[in-house]
Chain A
Amino acid sequence: MSDEAAMGLSEKAEPPVKQPAEAKRAPALESPAMRIAREFCEDRLAVLGLVLFLAIAAIAILAPWITPQNPYDLAQLDIMDGGLPPGSESFATGGTYWLGTDEQGRDMLSAIAYGLRISLLVATVSLAFAIAIGVAAGTTAAYLGGKVDTLIMRVVDLQLSFPSILIALILLALFGRGIDKVIIALIIVQWAYYARTVRSSAIVETRKDYIDAARCLALSHRRIMFRHLLPNCVPPLIVVGTVQIAQAIALEATLSFLGVGVPITEPSLGLLIANGYDYLLSGRYWVSIFPGIALVATIIAINLVGDRLRDVLNPRLQT
Chain B
Amino acid sequence: MNVRPALLIASLVAATSLTPAMAADLSIGLKSEPTSMDPQFHNLATNAQVLENIFEGLTKQDAVQRLQPGLASKWEASDDTTWRFTLRDGVKFQNGSPLTARDVIYTLCRVPLVQNSPSPFTIYTGAISDVTAEGDDVVVVKTASANPLLPTDMASLPIVSADALGAEKTVTYKPDGKCKGMGDVPQSPAFNSPDIAVGTGPYKLDSFVRGSKLVLTKFDGYWGEAPAWDTVTMRPISSAGPRVAALLSGDVDMIESPPIQDIPRIEGAGFKIIDALSNRIIYLHLYQQDEKAPSITGTNGKNPLLDKRVREAISLSINRKAIVDRIMGGYAKAAGELLPPPMFGTNGREPDGYDPEKAKQLLAEAGYPDGFGITLGTPNDRYINDEKVAQAIAQMLTRIGIKTKVDAVTASQFFSRRNKLEFPIYLAGWGASTGEMSSPLKSLVATYDKETGMGPTNAGRYSNPAMDKILTEAMSTIDDTKREDLLKKAEQMVLDDYGIIPLHYEQTVWAMKKGLSYEPRVDQYTIAAEVKPASE
Does A touch B (CB under 8 Å) in the complex?
yes
Residue positions of A touching B, CB distance < 8 A = 74-75, 77-80, 82-83, 103-104, 176-177, 259, 263-265, 277-284
A176 touches B244 (CB 8 A): no
**A259 contacts across to B, CB distance below 8 A:** 380-381, 410
Which listed residue (B241, B259, B262, B326) contacts A83, Cβ 8 A? B326
- A292 smallest CB distance to B (angstroms): 15
Q: Contact check: which of B241, B264, B398 meets A280 at CB < 8 Å?
A: B241
In the complex, A82→B405 CA distance in Å? Answer: 19
Select from chain B the residue with minimum beta-carbon distance to A277: B241
Instruction: Tell which of B245, B262, B392, B410 touches A79, judged by Cβ atoms closer than 8 Å.
Output: B392
Whether B409 is near chain A, meaning CB under 8 Å from some CB there, is yes
Contact sample, A vs B, 23 pairs, CB 8 Å cutoff: A74-B391, A74-B394, A74-B398, A75-B395, A75-B398, A79-B323, A79-B326, A79-B327, A79-B395, A80-B322, A80-B326, A82-B327, A83-B326, A103-B388, A176-B413, A259-B381, A264-B391, A264-B406, A279-B261, A280-B241, A281-B259, A283-B265, A284-B261
A282 to chain B, nearest CB (A): 4
Cα–Cα, bound, A279→B262 (Å):
7
For A177, the chain B residues whose CB sits under 8 A away are: 409
Give the CA-CA distance A289 to B399 in the complex, in Å: 31
**A103, B327: Cβ atoms under 8 Å?**
yes
Q: Once the chains are docked, how many angstroms separate the CA of A49 from the CA of B387?
A: 37
Complex formed: what's the CA distance from A266 to B446 in Å? 36
Complex Cα distance, B241 from A177, in Å, reads 24
Out of B245, B326, B394, which one reaches A103, CB within 8 Å? B326
Is B240 an interface position by the 8 A CB rule?
yes
On chain A, the residues within 8 Å of B396 by CB distance are 79
Residues of the A chain whose Cβ atoms lie less than 8 Å from the Cβ of B327 = 79, 82, 103
Is residue B233 within 8 Å, beta carbon to beta carbon, of the partner chain?
no
Q: Mark B246-267, 1 if CB is under 8 A from A, else 0.
A: 0000000000000101101100
Question: Would B240 and A104 count as touching, CB distance under 8 A?
Answer: no
Interface residues of B (CB under 8 A from A): 240-241, 244-245, 259, 261-262, 264-265, 319, 322-323, 326-327, 380-381, 387-388, 391-392, 394-396, 398-399, 404-410, 413
User: Which chain A residue shows the least CB distance to B387?
Assistant: A264
Sample of 19 more A-B contacts, CB < 8 Å, known A78-B395, A281-B241, A282-B264: A74-B404, A75-B395, A75-B398, A79-B319, A79-B392, A80-B326, A103-B327, A104-B395, A176-B409, A259-B380, A264-B391, A264-B408, A265-B391, A278-B241, A278-B259, A280-B241, A281-B265, A282-B259, A282-B262
| B406 contact set on A, CB distance < 8 A | 263-265
Please, which residues of chain B bring their CB within 8 A of the CB of A283?
265
Assembly CA distance A282 to B405 (angstroms): 29
Q: Which residue of A lies closest to B396 (CB)?
A: A79
A236: min CB distance to chain B, Å = 40
Considering only CB atoms, which chain A residue lies closest to B239 in the complex?
A277
| Closest beta carbon of chain A to B332's beta carbon, Å | 14
**Which secondary structure dominates chain B's binding surface?**
helix
Query: Which of A82, A176, A278 has the most chain B CB atoms inside 10 A of its CB?
Result: A278
Report yes or no: B380 in contact with A281, Cβ–Cβ below 8 A: no
What residues on B are CB-neighbors of A80 within 8 Å?
322, 326
Please state if A281 and B245 are interface contacts (CB–CB under 8 Å).
Answer: yes
Nearest opposing residue in chain B for A263, CB measure = B408
Residues on the A chain within 8 Å of B413, using CB? 176
CA distance A103 to B326 in the complex (A): 7
Chain B residues positioned under 8 Å from A74 (CB to CB)? 391, 394-395, 398, 404
Write out the residue numbers on chain A whose beta carbons fall within 8 Å of the beta carbon of B259.
278, 281-282
In the bound complex, how far is the Cα of B394 from the Cα of A264, in angstroms?
Answer: 12
User: Nearest-CB distance from A70 to chain B (Å)?
Assistant: 12
A277–B319 CA distance with the chains assembled, in angstroms: 26
What is the CA–CA distance of A82 and B396 in the complex, to the nearest angstrom?
A: 14
> Please, which residues of chain A bring their CB within 8 A of the CB of B409?
176-177
Q: How far is the CA of A277 from the CA of B245 in the complex (A)?
A: 14
Smallest CB separation, B49 vs chain A (Å): 24
Minimum distance in angstroms from B335 CB to a CB of chain A: 18
- Complex: A74 Cα to B388 Cα, angstroms: 13
**In the complex, what residues of A have CB within 8 A of residue B381's CB?**
259
What residues of B have a CB within 8 angstroms of the CB of A277 in the complex? 241
Partner of B392, one of A104, A278, A284: A104
Q: How far is it, in angstroms, between the C-alpha of A278 and the C-alpha of B326 when the chains are bound?
A: 15
Bound complex: CA of A82 vs CA of B389, how far in Å? 12
**How long is the Cα–Cα vector from A75 to B394 in the complex, in angstroms?**
9
Within the complex, the shortest CB–CB distance from B356 to chain A, in Å, comes to 12
B398 / chain A contacts, CB cutoff of 8 Å: 74-75
- Which among B241, B387, B404 has the highest number of chain A CB atoms within 10 Å? B241
Distance in Å: Cβ of A268 to nearest Cβ of chain B: 15
Nearest chain A residue, comparing its CB with the CB of B244: A281
Instruction: Report chain A residues within 8 Å CB of B319.
Output: 79
A201 to B409, CA, bound (A): 44
CB distance from B471 to the nearest CB of A (A): 36
A259-B414 Cα distance, complex, nearest whole Å:
14
In the complex, the chain B residue whose C-beta lies closest to that of A102 is B388
Q: Are B391 and A281 in contact, with the CB atoms below 8 A?
A: no
CB distance from B269 to the nearest CB of A (A): 11
Cα–Cα distance between A133 and B387 once the two chains are bound (Å): 37
A75-B261 CB under 8 A given contacts A80-B326, A103-B326, A278-B240: no
Shortest C-beta distance, A131 to chain B (Å), equals 32
**What's the least CB distance linking B268 to chain A, in Å?**
10
A82 to B395, CA, bound (A): 12
Nearest-CB distance from A72 to chain B (Å)? 10
- Assembly CA distance A265 to B396 (angstroms): 15
CB contacts (< 8 Å) of B380 on chain A: these are: 259, 264
Q: Which 10 A-B pairs have CB atoms at the shortest separation, nearest pair first?
A: A282-B261, A74-B398, A282-B262, A74-B395, A264-B408, A82-B326, A75-B398, A79-B392, A265-B406, A79-B326
Q: Nearest-CB distance from B420 to chain A (Å)?
A: 14
User: What's the Cα separation between A113 and B391 when bound, in Å?
Assistant: 20
A179 to chain B, nearest CB (A): 14
- Within the complex, the shortest CB–CB distance from B198 to chain A, in Å, comes to 40
Query: How far, in Å, is A252 (CB) from chain B's closest CB?
Result: 18
Q: How far, in angstroms, from A152 to B399 measured CA to CA in the complex?
A: 54
Q: Please give the distance in Å from A82's CB to the nearest CB on chain B.
A: 5
CA distance A79 to B388 in the complex (A): 10
**Which residues of A lie under 8 Å from residue B391 when comparing CB positions?**
74, 104, 264-265
| Minimum CB distance partner of A287 in chain B | B261
Contacts of B240 on A, CB cut-off 8 Å? 278
What is the chain A residue whose CB lies nearest that of B407? A263
A263-B408, A282-B261 known; A79-B322 Cβ under 8 A:
yes
Q: Which residues of B sit under 8 angstroms from A82, Cβ to Cβ?
A: 326-327
Smallest CB separation, B418 vs chain A (Å)? 14
Chain B residues with CB under 8 Å of A279's CB are 261
Is B394's CB under 8 angstroms from A278's CB?
A: no
**Are A282's CB and B265's CB within 8 A?**
yes
What residues of chain A lie closer than 8 Å to B399, measured between beta carbons? 75
